[in-house]
């Protein structure tokens, strides 16, 4: 049917309106994209590398996006139907087809090489003699626990547990630990020199040794370097200050304290389901897999408070599985850790008498007492920890802050407070 | 139903009951195709409604519904959209169109075809029935990662039969699609009309062929994984996937994604084929670079089997460089397709009815899905973006504005062939624009939220600056898009009965064989078949082009729509 000209005019007007709409949308999206086209500023060396790679990919992608979308819009207007004549029947053109196979290939190859270099860089472990801070990150529904390692001698005795029933430790193949054998547990090597009661004397391989609470008969899945300190450092921290308004934010989330400028090895594992250790400003995440311990290397470059959150769906309270990162300058970090490890003041010494002797690991039962040290050391009054220390839920005894879950009390001010702790500078 | 009965040609006596019985017992690929599309459309509406629930929960900080409810909502939204909407609706169009496009009487195995349909319906109802039981539907995400999904004790995941029904439902759906896939393979290889060589097959048929290969090769892997997980939950006690009892949770991820990455292409290849039918027809040009397009389709199919672990970059259990390289490679055939579509429009005579709008919308928005995929392919960038809303935005640009737009284009394009009436163009335009605007309002802010670190699958979020606004834009967008979907539903129902009549065999001046028969076609499909001497015999014959140049003069009578 030939089209009458008034209809054609109307059609043109409609097309123009459509064009304005599409163009407007694209402009709008470009404008909105300007607001948030990049991830947050990185606060670690690895994060900066990743962010730089992101920026490279972004500009390549933006160029392709703009050129292709503009070309499509141009095609739409340039070649809209004007008459009923049959357009030239072009079936293809080998030259241009080869060209537009080769060009994406080159782009993809460049991206692969650059990505590979960055990947190699951020994934590589630090040199053998580079000092490394080891922090164990244990995820569980729905909490984070952070354990800090302190230096120890080449051969050390480690108390496993105060419970005499807890000595029957097993390695991954289900067999019992035996003296004078070397075990590889995840990324660590240890040699068990002797077993006496519930004290293992072990020699370190790369770094690390056996610690913590292990119920009888269960295999050891996770080990840290040296004397372990569980940190239940949560609640009533007032250190998060919005630089612009000066407003003080209370953060009731578990806090992992890290040194600035020293490589940290996070040993990440999970006690139940899969979680993911993710702080947006690290631009990095690693899944916490049950049954495995995996290492994430990071060198934090900026002091401050950063928000973190479980990124892998982990059940009911997944949205509330938050944590905070507190990055301290190295000297402050060392002082903080030393105070955390220091023996309890004389007044309290009677209580943890069972913990005397050997370079014993901090026992879970002592979490409440340690919290006292923590308070003294870094100014955080910690009423929550005291409750936890006396907790009846075995999971709570790990010195974690646990929120939600079937056993948790109803009405959870802790996580809600954490939920509303905004990250400065977002969007 | 009276008009639906119109697809049955003559000598048809009997009342409504007879018509109903005829539909329930039919082995005609056209009726089966229509029933597939209608059933999938209904499921799709349910899935869309669940997405509105999800978006409503996220409209502001603070939880509105319980997390258990929310987790069911997003789990079932994804499961329904993937297993019960996009895949079967594409199967439905393939069922209707492929035998016509290759000039066949029916599918190779009509009874197996009917079996596939009814098994599919059974599986879908099985999966959805979980909402009626105590504990509700599955809530472990559509990826169903153990140990969450393998736990039955109720200590780490709410106990209930929802997860079991989900597993059995997906196994049953797998049976349906495997049978369907085999049927398509045999049909396409053995039932083509004389002269219809492989390289004269319509592009939609090509994509269905490659899709059928993916279905047949990948689905058994998923089925075995599902059976193992079912065993873990019911008797085996987690020995396969739960580390607490000696299993390997990452094993599930490998098995699951070995199916589910090809599944992404099972979902996107047929819509790509649809777009490759619609764009040439309304540009009045052949598809640019037909052979390159076929090769790109096969290439994507092959690559889809070696990229599965790019969903697992942050698990720490993947050889990263290999999967990074293979994932980047996917960009090349996809890029070729983009350029071929654009070159098809170049120098064409573009007519923008609703089918064409959706096809062009597909090209414009699928591009965003493709580009955002490149970010994830670069492993270090994926470390930052994985499991954030950036992934959600990316996958929806591929599936919601990609696959679904293709499906809408197919609906407007083939509706007159199926029912002998056109869908209403005015409603169609509103449908398109509300979808185009709505989907962008949903998914573009989600990309930004992901960049800022908002994890996916959370029912509440921290009050970070800007997050609430972005989520509100997305929620409003979801309702805008849903208005379009409801309008479309109305349009379909209205047009089946009262739509503008399509008297012609070939209203669009299209080129493939389904347009060489009446609208709707007779039960036996063709009274006469044109000689097949090119990949668009009907168009070339009508206009005396290519191999048909000698038999007819140039500049044939014009048609326009």
Q: What is the pLDDT of residues B358-375, one digit of tens each?
A: 999 999 999 999 999 999
Dist CA A400 CA A388 (whole Å): 8
Of residues B385 and A419, more confidence is placed in B385
Confidence of residue B387 (pLDDT cuts 50, 70, 90): very high
pLDDT at site A400:
32
Contact A72 B141 (CB under 8 A): no
**Beta strand pairing call for A255-260 and A263-270:** unpaired
pLDDT at site B297:
97
Does A136 reach chain B within 8 Å, measured CB to CB?
no
Contact B324 A290 (CB under 8 A): no
Q: Are B4 and B28 in contact (CB under 8 A)?
A: no
Q: What is the pLDDT of residues B123-133, one digit of tens each?
A: 999 999 999 98
Q: Which residues pair with A244 in a beta bridge?
A: none
Closest residue in B to A104 (Cα) is B332
3-state SS assignment for residue B558: coil
pLDDT of residue A128 exceeding 80: no
Other beta carbons less than 10 A from residue B52's beta carbon: 16
Instruction: Give the pLDDT mean for B299-316.
Output: 95
Contact A115 B145 (CB under 8 A): no
Instruction: Give the pLDDT mean for B308-330.
Output: 94
Q: Which of B289, B328, B348 sits opposite A79 (nearest CB)?
A: B348
pLDDT at site B171:
96
Annotate A35-68 with DSSP letters as a single string: HSSSPPPP-BHHHHHHHHHHHHHHHHHHHHHHHH
Q: What is the pLDDT of residues B168-197, one digit of tens each?
A: 999 999 999 999 999 999 999 999 999 999
Name the residue with tokens 């089918």: B355
Q: What is the pLDDT of residues A315-338, one digit of tens each?
A: 888 888 888 888 999 999 888 887
Residues in chain B within 8 Å Cβ distance of A124: none
Smallest Cα–Cα separation from B285: which of A16, A101, A81, A98?
A: A81
pLDDT of residue A395 exceeding 90: no
Helices and strands in chain A, H and E counts: 7, 17
Instruction: Give the pLDDT mean for A6-11.
Output: 64
Does A152 reach chain B within 8 Å, measured CB to CB?
no
Between the CA of residue A264 and those of A303, A330, B180, B546, what are the distances in Å? 14, 12, 53, 69
Contact B464 A422 (CB under 8 A): yes
Does A167 reach chain B within 8 Å, measured CB to CB?
no
Dist CA B151 CA B232 (whole Å): 8
Does B342 reach chain A within 8 Å, measured CB to CB?
yes
What are the backbone dihedrals phi and psi of residue B216, each rounded to the nearest 5 degrees, phi first? -70, -35
**Distance of residue A344 Cα from the nearest chain B Cα, in angstroms:** 36
How buried is residue B302: exposed, middle or buried, by Cβ count under 10 Å (0-12/13-18/19+)?
Answer: middle
Between the CA of residue B35 and those of B25, B151, B188, what are the distances in Å? 12, 37, 21
Alpha helices in A79-173 (DSSP H): 94-123
pLDDT of residue A405 exceeding 50: no
Q: Which of A45-59, A335-349, B341-355 has the lowest mean pLDDT?
A: A335-349
Q: Are B328 and B377 in contact (CB under 8 A)?
A: yes
Does B191 reach chain A within 8 Å, measured CB to CB?
no
Q: Whats the size of chain A, residue-wise?
A: 427
pLDDT at site A232:
47
Which residues in B8-32 are b (16+ Cβ under 10 Å) and which e? Answer: beeeeeeeeeebeebbeebbbbbbb
Beta strand extents in B389-482 (DSSP E only):
none
Q: What is the pLDDT of residues B405-434, one digit of tens each?
A: 999 999 999 999 999 999 999 999 999 999
Helices and strands in chain B, H and E counts: 17, 0
Does A11 reach chain B within 8 Å, measured CB to CB?
no
Other beta carbons less than 10 A from residue A27's beta carbon: 10
pLDDT at site B455:
94
**Max avg pLDDT among B238-247, B497-506, B543-552:** B497-506
Over pLDDT 70: what percentage of chain B?
A: 95
pLDDT of residue A344 exceeding 60: no
Contact A104 B336 (CB under 8 A): yes
Of residues B71 and A24, more confidence is placed in B71
Name the residue with tokens 């349009």: B491
Annotate A245-297 with DSSP letters as a single string: T--EEEE-S-EEEEEESSEEEEEEEESSS-EEEEEGGGTEEEEE-BT--EEEE
Q: Which of B288, B364, B555 sits opposite A72 (nearest CB)?
A: B364
How many residue contacts between A and B have a Cβ separation below 8 Å?
Answer: 321
Of residues B151 and A42, more confidence is placed in A42
Q: Which residues pair with B162 in a beta bridge?
A: B137
CA angle B73, B75, B76 (to 5 degrees): 70
Q: Whats the size of chain B, residue-wise?
A: 561
Between the CA of residue B297 and those of B228, B322, B338, what are the distances in Å? 32, 22, 12
Dist CA B377 CA A104 (whole Å): 14
pLDDT at site A63:
92
Contact B67 A319 (CB under 8 A): yes
DSSP letter at A394 equals: G
Confidence of residue A342 (pLDDT cuts 50, 70, 90): low
Name the residue with tokens 């809600």: A416
Omega before B147 within 30 of 0, i.e. cis: yes
Residues in chain A within 8 Å Cβ distance of B249: 274, 289-291
Does B383 reach chain A within 8 Å, measured CB to CB?
yes
Does A303 reach chain B within 8 Å, measured CB to CB?
no
Instruction: Give the pLDDT mean for A138-149.
Output: 81
Between the CA of residue A38 and those of A54, A227, A280, B162, B273, what are the distances in Å? 8, 41, 12, 40, 34
Which residues 295-314 of B are in CB contact (within 8 Å) with A? Answer: 314
Q: Are A158 and A198 in contact (CB under 8 A)?
A: no
Q: What is the pLDDT of residues B46-90, one digit of tens each?
A: 999 999 999 999 998 887 888 889 999 999 999 999 999 999 999
Q: What is the pLDDT of residues A255-313, one digit of tens each?
A: 888 999 988 989 898 888 999 999 999 999 999 998 888 889 999 999 988 888 999 99
Three state DSSP letters for B177-220: HHHHHHHHHHHHHHCCCCCCCHHHCCHHHHHHHHHHHHHHHHHH
**Distance of residue A218 Cα from the nearest chain B Cα, in angstroms:** 10
pLDDT of residue B230 exceeding 90: yes
pLDDT at site B136:
86
For A42, half-sphere exposure in the C-beta direction (CA atoms, 13 angstrom radius) is 21
pLDDT of residue B241 exceeding 80: yes
Smallest Cα–Cα separation from B123: which of B45, B185, B179, B73?
A: B179
pLDDT of residue B277 exceeding 80: yes
Q: Which of A49, A91, A101 sits opposite B380 (nearest CB)?
A: A49
Please say whether the dihedral angle defined by the alpha carbons of residues B434, B435, B436 and B437, taken in this order, is positive or negative. Answer: positive
Other beta carbons less than 10 A from residue B503's beta carbon: 9
Between the CA of residue A224 and those of A116, A265, B170, what are the distances in Å? 30, 10, 42
Averaged pLDDT score across all residues of chain A: 66
Residues in chain A within 8 Å Cβ distance of B448: 32-33, 35-37, 427
Residues in chain A within 8 Å Cβ distance of B462: 307, 309, 322, 418-423
**Max avg pLDDT among A350-364, B294-308, B452-466:** B294-308
Residues in chain B within 8 Å Cβ distance of A97: 289, 292, 336, 339-340
DSSP letter at A366 equals: G
Q: What is the pLDDT of residues B434-467, one digit of tens each?
A: 999 999 999 999 999 999 999 999 998 887 888 8
Contact B321 A116 (CB under 8 A): yes
Instruction: Give the pLDDT mean for B142-151.
Output: 90
Q: Are A201 and A157 in contact (CB under 8 A)?
A: yes
pLDDT of residue A172 exceeding 50: no
Write the Ramachandran bin of A306: left for phi over 0, alpha for psi from -120 to 50, otherwise beta. beta
Structure tokens at B343: 């070159």
pLDDT of residue B524 exceeding 60: yes
Angle in degrees, 0-180, between the axes of helices B320-345 and B290-303, rounded to the nearest 10: 160
Q: Which of B372, B378, B463 sits opposite A422 (nearest CB)?
A: B463
pLDDT of residue A26 exceeding 80: no
pLDDT of residue A389 exceeding 50: no
**Beta strand pairing call for A188-196 and A181-185:** antiparallel
Q: Which of A84, A90, A290 sits opposite B347 (nearest CB)?
A: A90
Contact B243 A420 (CB under 8 A): no
Confidence of residue A214 (pLDDT cuts 50, 70, 90): very low
**Beta strand pairing call for A275-279 and A304-310:** antiparallel
Dist CA B372 CA A254 (whole Å): 33
Q: Which of B315, B380, B466 sits opposite A50 (nearest CB)?
A: B380
Closest residue in B to A281 (Cα) is B453
Q: Are B219 and B171 in contact (CB under 8 A)?
A: no
Closest residue in A to B545 (Cα) is A89
Q: Which of A203-212, A378-387, A417-426 has the lowest mean pLDDT?
A: A378-387
Dist CA B419 CA B497 (whole Å): 9
Query: In degrees to the nearest 10, what's the CA dihedral of B504, B510, B512, B517?
Result: 0
Q: What is the pLDDT of residues A100-122, one digit of tens each?
A: 999 999 999 999 999 999 999 99
Does A425 reach chain B within 8 Å, measured CB to CB?
yes
pLDDT at site B213:
97
Contact A111 B374 (CB under 8 A): yes
DSSP letter at B15 equals: -
């Amino acid at each position: 049917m030939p089209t009458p000209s008034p209809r054609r005019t109307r059609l043109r007007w409609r097309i123009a309106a459509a064009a304005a709409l599409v163009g407007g949308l694209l402009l709008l999206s470009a404008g909105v994209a300007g607001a948030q086209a990049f991830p947050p500023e990185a606060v670690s060396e690895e994060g900066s590398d990743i962010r730089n790679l992101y920026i490279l990919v972004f500009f390549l992608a933006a160029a392709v996006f703009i050129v292709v979308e503009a070309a499509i819009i141009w095609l739409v207007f340039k070649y809209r139907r004007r008459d009923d004549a049959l357009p030239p029947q072009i079936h293809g053109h080998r030259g241009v087809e080869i060209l537009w196979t080769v060009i994406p290939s080159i782009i993809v190859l460049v991206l692969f090489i650059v990505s590979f270099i960055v990947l190699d860089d951020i994934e590589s472990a630090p040199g053998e003699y580079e000092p490394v801070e080891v922090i164990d990150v244990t995820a569980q529904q729905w909490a984070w626990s952070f354990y800090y390692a302190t230096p120890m001698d080449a051969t050390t005795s480690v108390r496993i547990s105060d419970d005499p029933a807890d000595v029957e430790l097993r390695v991954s193949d289900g067999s019992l630990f035996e003296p004078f054998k070397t075990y590889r547990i995840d990324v660590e090597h240890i040699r068990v020199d002797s077993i006496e009661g519930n004290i293992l004397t072990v020699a370190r391989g790369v770094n690390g040794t056996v610690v913590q609470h292990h119920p009888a008969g269960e295999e050891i899945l996770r080990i840290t370097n040296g004397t372990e300190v569980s940190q239940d450092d949560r609640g009533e921290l007032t250190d998060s200050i919005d630089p612009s308004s000066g407003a003080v934010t209370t953060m009731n989330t578990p806090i992992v304290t890290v040194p600035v400028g020293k490589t940290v090895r996070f040993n990440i594992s999970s006690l139940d389901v899969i979680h993911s250790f993710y702080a947006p400003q690290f631009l990095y995440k690693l899944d916490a897999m049950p049954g495995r311990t995996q290492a994430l290397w990071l060198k934090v470059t900026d002091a401050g408070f950063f928000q973190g959150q479980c990124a892998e769906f982990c059940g009911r309270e997944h949205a509330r599985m938050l944590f905070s990162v507190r990055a301290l300058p190295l000297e402050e970090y060392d002082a903080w850790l030393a105070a955390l490890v220091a023996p309890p003041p004389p007044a309290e010494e009677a209580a943890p008498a069972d913990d005397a002797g050997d370079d014993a690991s901090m026992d879970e039962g002592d979490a409440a007492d340690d919290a006292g040290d923590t308070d003294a050391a870094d100014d955080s009054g910690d009423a929550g920890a005291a409750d936890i220390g006396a907790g009846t839920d075995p999971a709570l005894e790990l010195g974690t802050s646990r929120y939600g879950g079937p056993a948790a009390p109803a009405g959870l001010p802790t996580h809600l407070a954490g939920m509303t702790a905004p990250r400065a500078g977002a969007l | 139903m009276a008009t639906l009965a119109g697809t049955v040609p003559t000598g048809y006596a009997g009342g409504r009951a007879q018509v109903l019985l005829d539909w329930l017992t039919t082995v005609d690929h056209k009726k089966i195709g229509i029933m597939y599309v209608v059933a999938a459309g209904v499921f799709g509406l349910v899935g869309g409604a669940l997405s509105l629930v999800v978006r409503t929960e996220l409209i502001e900080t603070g939880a509105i519904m319980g997390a258990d409810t929310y987790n069911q909502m997003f789990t079932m939204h994804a499961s329904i959209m993937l297993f019960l909407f996009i895949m079967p609706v594409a199967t439905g169009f393939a069922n209707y169109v492929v035998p016509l496009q290759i000039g066949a009487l029916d599918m190779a195995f009509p009874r197996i075809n009917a079996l596939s349909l009814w098994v599919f319906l059974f599986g879908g109802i099985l999966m959805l029935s979980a909402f009626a039981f105590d504990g509700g539907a599955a809530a472990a995400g559509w990826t169903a990662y153990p140990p969450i999904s393998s736990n039955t004790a109720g200590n780490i995941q709410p106990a209930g039969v929802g997860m079991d029904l989900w597993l059995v439902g997906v196994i049953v759906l797998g049976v349906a699609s495997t049978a369907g896939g085999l049927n398509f393979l045999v049909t396409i290889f053995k039932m083509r009309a004389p002269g219809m060589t492989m390289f004269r097959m319509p592009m939609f048929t090509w994509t269905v062929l490659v899709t059928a290969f993916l279905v047949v090769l990948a689905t058994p892997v998923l089925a075995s994984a599902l059976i193992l997980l079912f065993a873990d939950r019911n008797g085996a006690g987690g020995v396969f996937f739960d580390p607490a009892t000696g299993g390997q949770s990452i094993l599930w991820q490998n098995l699951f994604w070995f199916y589910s990455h090809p599944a992404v292409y099972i979902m996107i290849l047929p819509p790509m084929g649809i777009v490759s039918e619609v764009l040439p027809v309304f540009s009045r040009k052949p598809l640019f670079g037909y052979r390159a397009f076929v090769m790109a389709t096969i290439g994507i199919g092959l690559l889809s089997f070696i990229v599965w672990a790019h969903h697992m970059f942050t698990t720490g259990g993947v050889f990263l460089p290999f999967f990074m390289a293979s994932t980047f490679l996917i960009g090349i055939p996809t890029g070729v397709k983009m350029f071929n579509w654009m070159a098809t429009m170049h120098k064409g005579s573009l007519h923008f009815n609703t089918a064409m709008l959706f096809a062009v919308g597909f090209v414009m928005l699928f591009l965003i899905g493709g580009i955002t995929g490149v970010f994830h392919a670069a492993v270090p960038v994926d470390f930052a973006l994985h499991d954030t809303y950036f992934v959600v935005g990316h996958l929806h640009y591929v599936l919601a504005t990609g696959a679904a737009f293709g499906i809408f284009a197919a609906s407007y394009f083939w509706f007159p062939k199926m029912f002998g009436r056109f869908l209403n163009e005015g409603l169609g335009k509103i449908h398109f624009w509300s979808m185009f605007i709505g989907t962008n309002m949903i998914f573009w802010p989600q990309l930004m939220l992901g960049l800022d670190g908002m994890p996916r699958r959370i029912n509440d979020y921290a009050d970070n600056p800007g997050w609430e606004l972005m989520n509100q834009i997305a929620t409003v967008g979801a309702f805008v898009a849903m208005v379009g979907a409801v309008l479309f539903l109305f349009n379909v129902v209205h047009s089946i009965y009262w739509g503008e009549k399509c008297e012609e065999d070939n209203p669009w001046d299209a080129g493939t064989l389904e347009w060489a028969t009446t609208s709707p076609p007779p039960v036996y499909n063709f009274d006469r078949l044109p000689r097949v001497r090119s990949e668009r015999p009907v168009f070339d014959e009508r206009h005396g082009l290519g191999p048909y140049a000698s038999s007819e003069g140039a500049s044939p009578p014009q048609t326009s729509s």
